[in-house]
Chain A
Amino acid sequence: MAFEKDLNLDATELRLGLPGTSDESAKNQTPATLRSSNKRALPEESMSSNATASKNCDQETAPLTKAQVVGWPPIRSYRKNNLQPKKSEGEISGIYVKVSMDGAPYLRKIDLKVFKGYPELLKALEDMFKFKAGEYSEREGYNGSEFVPTYEDKDGDWMLVGDVPWEMFTNSCKKLRIMKGSEARGLGCVV
């Protein structure tokens, strides 16, 4: 059987390394960011001893950070989304929603479940984006600031944060947006 360990297949193997392949170039290519480099680290080829081969395998094949590799492990998205209902953006716990702020370079995500009510949520948003929201009143919305917290509900409408009971809000909020300036005026911000 060709697979017994004592047959030294290395000695008879045809080698066709990529041009310029050598110890050094192989070592330089760590697989840590596989997305940017298509070349995998090459195991040691020119030495015949197993010990050296395994040593180089050690150096060159650091385990990939799983989160960096798109599409690995190969599991259908449906399965991934349905597997851990307790951890995912489910209807029972852990409601993660995106938060955007007009003018900010990137969005954030927060878990609505960790807040007990609107005051806590607003404080967290204010801390996260470094703004002040103004005083909320049912009649006038947010008074005293050019920033207005809004959210998109299940029907796709943009609503003012604070109008509905907290439970209803967390169940229907799909994403948050902190509007700024003139656009915010349309939603009842009195500035």
Chain B
Amino acid sequence: MNYFPDEVLEHVFDFITSHKDRNSVSLVCKSWYKIERYSRQRVFIGNCYSISPERLIARFPGLKSLTLKGKPHFADFNLVPHDWGGFVYPWIKALAKSRIGLEELRLKRMVVSDESLELLSKSFVNFKSLVLVSCEGFTTDGLAAIAANCRFIRELDLQENEVDDHRGHWLSCFPESCTSLISLNFACLRGEVNLGALERLVSRSPNLKSLRLNRAVPLDTLQKLLMLAPQLVDLGIGSYVHDPFSEAYNKLKIAIQRCKSIRSLSGFLEVAPHCMSAIYPICGNLTFLNLSYAPGLHGNKLMKLIQHCRKLQRLWILDCIGDKGLGVVALTCKELQELRVFPSDPFGAGNAAVTEEGLVLVSAGCPKLNSLLYFCQQMTNAALITVAKNCPNFIRFRLCILDPIKPDPVTNQPLDEGFGAIVQSCKGLKRLSLSGLLTDQVFLYIGMYAEQLKMLSIAFAANSDKGMLYVLNGCKKLRKLEIRDCPFGDAALLEDVGKYETMRSLWMSSCEVTLGGCKSVAEKMPSLNVEIINESEQMEFNLDDKQKVDKLYLYRTLVGHRKDAPEYVWIL
């Protein structure tokens, strides 16, 4: 193999794009390691504390695209205190100081300050793409800096971030010379935008393929934008409220009909349901439809809309679609691969409109279904067994019963058998979230059958340590395990500490693990950071090893303890 000159090997490696494969390639021998590292352009870091920016820069001098994830997943549900960590600034600072020609930065669950956005915008001449998902800490001033300074910006994609909106002027900061935009998504911004600036920006962006507007963009602006950009492939509608008999509505109908390339539709953040017929002409081509922020759309209007969407592959919807509506999905969307049903009234008094029936209907009608997120009122073992039989191709299966310990309402049994059927049938299952009444038994099944499982989320389940042990012993490919409110204690935690080095991270909150147990893990495994989050009033961390730990987050790392942890986080 070493008889090939480096350039040949490099050319071969160009075809290897998956991170996992490139990592494997680098392990073959020293010369492959060297060639691979110089030619690597895209790096994915699943936990920003597992490595330092300096080491990253040293190893991959040709880095162009960096993906970073910060806070643990349960931070999404308010289980991680606000200032826990995940700051991007040190990364940007280090990259800016180096010779790295960064072009793309994708961040998830990180704290991003305006200062970091400004530094980013000024440090990399060829910066092209910024994607922020579930981040926080910045304002529209930071966006203004990106708009103003990144001369070749192609993509500015903001997904579900908490942004302090100082109102509209950031859009005006894109200079007249900026004509390179391909994707612009500001749906998560709450404030007004300069509509004139938006129209001018779209009109000078001939390559614009993806545009997602926020709530503040009214219908007549939408119509103008569509006339300017009929080449759009992905559209996020902000406000869709208007009078169906108005001139504006007629103009909109014409504009939409010109957009023959739209394959993905989302938004409808404000919606007048009787006006959906304007959308029908493009429904037949849609592969992705996201109505999960449109509670105003339900009942017959919604079903009629769905009936036009025969090519749908991904559908995100609210549970006000009801079991009946899911039946319509099952009859219409034969190409469906991914379904997400979100709760429209999460704390409501049992008015969630979907049950196991809807899921069974979809599983029967949509055999290509491979990814599910389903918030429902109840679930039965029989339904899960049927679903498992109908859809053996699940890669992601996340079930959330709104009452987290609800048994099968028909038999009053735990849902062990149902989930057991899922893991046994779906041999390619990579991600699983459980809910409902569950005993250790379900974990026995998971350990036995879920061979490809990478991520498991458990809440309010199990009877004893055995549950966790079944999983740790059985799931060889497990990378992320997150547990809350389960009776797992030190015995389970300490059974095989070496396992945690093969995983990205472990989260345990409101379980039975003690300070002593956590200390033990930290002692035995110096390659792990063992963090205890202790938010209780007694701030003097009393050193009683028997004390139960509120929240434990441990993860493998090459760079030891992080220096930016707040006071209430103890790194053992």
Contact = CB atoms under 8 A, between A and B. Distances in A.
Interface of A: 1-3, 5, 9, 13-14, 16-18, 31, 34-35, 38-40, 42-43, 45, 50, 53-54, 57-58, 61, 63-64, 66-67, 69-80, 82-85
Contacts of A34: 460, 485, 510
Contact of A78 (B79, B161, B346, B421): B161
A76 B465 contact: no
B420 A3 contact: yes
B134 A73 contact: no
Interface stretch (B43-51, B168-176, B322-330, B408-416): B408-416
B154 interface: no
B400 A14 contact: no
B405 A71 contact: no
A76 B76 contact: yes
B480 interface: no
Nearest to A86: B295
Contact of A40 (B417, B421, B460): B460
B78 interface: yes
Given A16-B466, A71-B74, A76-B134, A38 B485 contact: yes
Contact of A3 (B417, B439, B459): B417
Contacts of B295: 83-84
B466 A70 contact: no
Interface in B546-563: 548
B250 interface: no
Nearest to A54: B412
Given A42-B463, A64-B405, A76 B510 contact: no
Contact of A53 (B402, B413, B420): B413
Interface string B370-413: 00000100000100010000000000000010111111000111
Contact of A75 (B188, B343, B381, B403): B343
Nearest to B491: A16
B512 interface: yes
Contacts of A83: 293, 295, 342, 344
A42 B78 CA distance: 27
A50 B410 CA distance: 13
A73 B346 contact: yes
Interface string B321-361: 00000000000000000000011111100000000000000
A126 B59 CA distance: 66
Interface of B: 74, 76-79, 134, 160-162, 188, 269-270, 292-293, 295, 342-347, 375, 381, 385, 400, 402-407, 411-414, 417, 420-421, 424, 433, 437, 439-441, 457, 459-466, 484-487, 510-512, 548
Given A2-B420, A3-B385, A43 B510 contact: no
B487 A71 contact: no
A84 B437 CA distance: 29
A78 B464 contact: no
B487 A74 contact: no
Given A14-B466, A61-B406, A66-B403, A79 B413 contact: no
A63 B378 CA distance: 12
Given A18-B464, A38-B511, A71-B77, A78 B402 contact: no
Secondary structure of the A contact surface, majority rule: loop
B441 A54 contact: no
Contacts of A85: 269-270
B489 to A, nearest CB: 9
Nearest to B509: A71
Contacts of B346: 66, 73, 75, 80
B467 to A, nearest CB: 10
B406 A63 contact: yes
Given A39-B487, A71-B79, A76-B77, A16 B465 contact: yes
Contacts of B188: 78, 82
Nearest to B79: A71
Given A61-B407, A78-B160, A73 B420 contact: no
B511 to A, nearest CB: 6
Nearest to A80: B346
A66 B402 CA distance: 8
Contacts of B134: 76, 78
Given A3-B417, A34-B485, A58-B412, A76 B464 contact: no
A5 B459 CA distance: 25
Contacts of A17: 463-464
Given A38-B548, A43-B414, A43-B437, A78 B404 contact: no
Given A38-B510, A54-B411, A63 B160 contact: no
A13, A63, A70, A71: most-surrounded residue (chain B CB, <10 A): A71
A72 B440 CA distance: 22
A31 B405 contact: yes
7 tightest CB-CB pairs across the interface, nearest first? Answer: A54-B412, A71-B77, A78-B160, A63-B403, A76-B76, A71-B79, A3-B417
A96 B295 CA distance: 21
B245 to A, nearest CB: 24
B76 A40 contact: no
Contacts of B439: 43
A73 B160 contact: no
A31 B460 CA distance: 10
Given A57-B413, A84-B295, A72 B77 contact: yes
A69 B295 CA distance: 24
A38 B441 contact: no
A35 to B, nearest CB: 8
Contact of A77 (B76, B403, B437): B76
Contacts of A35: 510
30 contacts: A2-B424, A3-B381, A3-B421, A3-B424, A5-B417, A16-B440, A17-B463, A18-B463, A31-B405, A40-B461, A40-B485, A45-B463, A50-B411, A54-B411, A64-B405, A66-B347, A70-B77, A70-B78, A71-B74, A71-B484, A72-B404, A74-B76, A74-B433, A75-B342, A75-B343, A76-B134, A77-B77, A79-B342, A84-B344, A84-B345
A81 to B, nearest CB: 8
A78 B78 CA distance: 11
A77 B109 CA distance: 12
Contacts of B417: 3, 5
B78 A71 contact: yes
A179 to B, nearest CB: 27
A17 B344 CA distance: 38
Contacts of A67: 347
Given A16-B440, A69-B404, A72-B404, 7 more contacts: A3-B420, A5-B417, A16-B466, A54-B412, A57-B412, A75-B77, A75-B375
